[in-house]
Chains A and B, each alone.
Chain A
Amino acid sequence: MYGWHLRILRVNLTNKKVTKEDVDPKFARDYLGGRGWAIHYLYNEMDPKADALSPQNILIFATGPLTATPAPTGNRYMVVTKSPLTGALAHSNSGGEFPTWMKRTGFDLFIFEGKADGPVYVWVNEDQVEIRSAAHVWGKQVPETTDRLKVETDPDARVACIGPAGEHQVLMAAIMNDKNRAAARSGVGAVMGSKNLKAVVVMGNKNPPLFNPDGMRDISVDTSKNVGIDVKKGSNLRIYGTAYVPQVTNTLGILPTRNFLQGTFEHTDKVDGVALKEQYLIKHVPCYRCPISCGRLTEVPDGPYKGKGEGPEYETISSLGTGCGVSNLAALTKANYLCNELGMDTITTGMTIAAAMEMYEKGYIPESAIGMPLKFGDHDAMIAMIKKMASREGFGEDLAQGSYRLAEKYGHPEIAVTARKQEFPGYDPRGSQGMGLLYATSNKGASHMEGDVAYEEVFGVPIKEDPLTTDGKPELVKHFEDSFALIDSSGLCVFLAIRYVFSKDRMVWPERLSEMMNLTTGAGYTPEEVMKAAERVYNLERLFLIKAGSGPENDTLPQRMLHEPLPDGPAKGKVVELDKMLPEFYKLRGWDEKGYPTKEKLQELGLPA
């Protein structure tokens, strides 16, 4: 076989047993790789009802068939596990360099089981696998951990690790790789911390053999060329990174502002990509083999928020910035650096603080509980809260649970803007109806990366849709969810994939992507077959959700989205009309009217009925 190594590394942290397993080629083809392979192992090997932070949970690192190939942006991996934040499924994506190095060890997947009896890290140098003590880096932040582990393994190795937040099993803890890249969402870092696994270090030279190396080279060069043409014309992602987006969402009235109390922010000019470029940008930084290069290396050169690192990205601006009513760009950038260093998801961190700010202002949480005033816009208080969260100190203990549990504890669950207990990303669905249906049905709780119809509703990529209508959204959401399951399984970055390896129709179609997968693996897929495989993956995840106790009853949105109309902006007066979309969505998915996959659908997909 080509493309896939068809080998899995299994590390049992309890008994320190390391095993190497072969993968059945038919399974490999049917489940694509990455996210697809991983849900198969998660579904079959752990009890979905088990506590996510117990040794019964398993933690999977999964590369795709296009990872470590010449495909531009073939640099991704997925972290798949049961989420302690949502109590259901976590699958978080990251790029940088670690995933490519991981695949070059000669394994497609790493599976970590059990729990070590003290802090450890796992060092994988091709077939040589060691479980080493991490006592000396326990408590250390991400940059220092990364540097030290490279020194004691190989300076050319790559590191994925948790920071103090993951060690304290904070529910928004991320797994950071290459210092600044994050598999951020759903608390995957807390799971790693619960296993006493501080880091995974990888090194190797085993590039996967390609079925048609010349064809793969040509298609990769051509795809990069297409990107190059756009970049020459002026690509916003290259010039401003995702930080150009606040101006777009503010214009549409869907920029999360003050915990979604508003959809427009009066100081957007102070926290957008133009301001960031003028004030703090040093240079753009790409992930491995990426012609787009949307990452930003920035520096706040002096003053109280002095620091250097990557970001902020749009999703950080819309959470730690506008979400908290914060307009001080230096402080916001510093907050981003802190989250990276401590190892935390900026979206859930920011929106949890935003919920606490609203509750403080409404008098639902007394100042005595917090230890200081916590008003919207108070960037110093926000930074203080981030530090407390990472160490669960004082009020940080409450914040470390995320906004759903925080709001419930203080008697006001209506304040939490979450779906399946996960905080919303940066698109207010009252002004982008398709995103509302996506958040309500997403297998990992509220997330844009599960099937980002904002590409069409907001960005006009490839076709502009009216974001305020529900018409046609169920079919669009279903199609994007499946398309994103495919991208996440392939090993490509969404930013490139959606624009350059799918057709430019409203129903984007994976013509070039399936061709790339064929040139890599020799699997002979048709585009229809890869979409069917993606649907299989999506439905197996749904079965996991149902078994975990987060089934159709959780296909809903918080009160603010369903009953509190947006007070300002172009979407003023709108709520999410979920009941208009959900029944049709179920039907299109081949699920019954309650939202359970039908026997016929499962049989069609070859899943356990």
Chain B
Amino acid sequence: MRIQIKLIANFRELLPPGSKNGIVELDLPNGTTVREAITRFDIPLDGSSVIVLNGLTVDLNTPLNEGDRITAFSAIEGGSTYRQGDDDVRLAPANPAS
């Protein structure tokens, strides 16, 4: 099953070299879910990313079909919370929609 992954703006850097226009094609076994496909890239699977399937808001456990396209972009300008004293950056709670 062939599907496409499109990463927008700063997420493009996470794509393998040589990908064109932010898009990479993958050959995946039938039944692969959105989550399984997207974890191949270093994309935070929480509220700091927006991940859509064919442009639609879906559960990340949705199985993929031939020809599907997953698109992801960062919502990072709003995704992080920082409290004084925290050394590392904490991310907002996982997106309930995902």
- Using a CB–CB distance below 8 Å, which chain A residues touch chain B? 222, 225-226, 229-230, 233-237, 239-240, 244, 247-248, 251-253, 269, 273-274, 292, 455, 459-468, 495, 498-499, 504, 569-571
Contacts and interface: CB of A to CB of B under 8 A. Distances in A.
B76 interface: yes
B8 A229 contact: no
A464 B75 contact: yes
Contacts of A253: 55
Contacts of A463: 47, 95-97
Contact of B75 (A461, A495, A569): A461
B39 interface: no
A460 B10 contact: no
Contacts of B74: 234, 236
Contact of A248 (B8, B21, B47, B89): B8
A215 to B, nearest CB: 13
B9 A274 contact: yes
Contacts of B52: 251-252, 570
A467 B12 CA distance: 24
A467 B96 CA distance: 15
23 contacts: A229-B89, A230-B79, A230-B80, A234-B76, A239-B9, A244-B9, A247-B22, A251-B71, A252-B55, A269-B21, A273-B9, A274-B9, A274-B12, A459-B75, A459-B78, A460-B49, A460-B75, A466-B57, A466-B97, A467-B57, A504-B81, A570-B52, A570-B54
Contact of B78 (A239, A465, A499): A499
Interface in B1-28: 6, 8-10, 12-13, 21-22
Contact of B55 (A226, A274, A460, A569): A569
A244 B8 contact: yes
Given A269-B21, A464-B97, A236 B55 contact: no
Contacts of A466: 57, 97
Nearest to B50: A460
A504 B78 contact: yes
Interface residues of B, number: 34
Nearest to A246: B8
Contacts of A498: 78
Nearest to A239: B10
Nearest to B23: A269
A589 B14 CA distance: 45
Interface of B: 6, 8-10, 12-13, 21-22, 47, 49-50, 52, 54-57, 71, 73-82, 84, 89, 92, 95-98
Given A229-B89, A240-B9, A466-B57, 4 more contacts: A247-B8, A269-B21, A460-B50, A463-B95
B77 A570 contact: no
A261 B6 CA distance: 25
Given A251-B71, A460-B47, A233 B57 contact: no
A462 B78 contact: yes
B76 to A, nearest CB: 5
Contacts of B6: 251
A237 B9 CA distance: 10
A251 B80 contact: no
Given A244-B9, A251-B71, A499-B77, A233 B89 contact: yes
B10 A464 contact: no
Contacts of A233: 76, 80, 89
A251 B74 CA distance: 14
Nearest to B13: A234
B79 to A, nearest CB: 8
5 nearest A-B pairs in the assembled complex, by CB-CB distance: A570-B55, A461-B78, A460-B75, A244-B9, A460-B50
A360 B50 CA distance: 39
Most central of B49, B55, B89 by chain A CB within 10 Å: B55
Given A230-B80, A251-B8, A269-B21, A464 B73 contact: no
Contacts of B84: 222
Nearest to B95: A464
B8 A460 contact: no
A248 B78 CA distance: 16
B93 to A, nearest CB: 8
Nearest to A236: B9
Contacts of A499: 77-78
Contacts of B13: 234
Nearest to A459: B75
A468 B81 contact: no
Nearest to B10: A234
Most central of A225, A229, A467 by chain B CB within 10 Å: A229
Contacts of A234: 10, 13, 74, 76
Nearest to A495: B77
A237 B75 CA distance: 10
B12 A248 contact: no
A499 B76 CA distance: 10
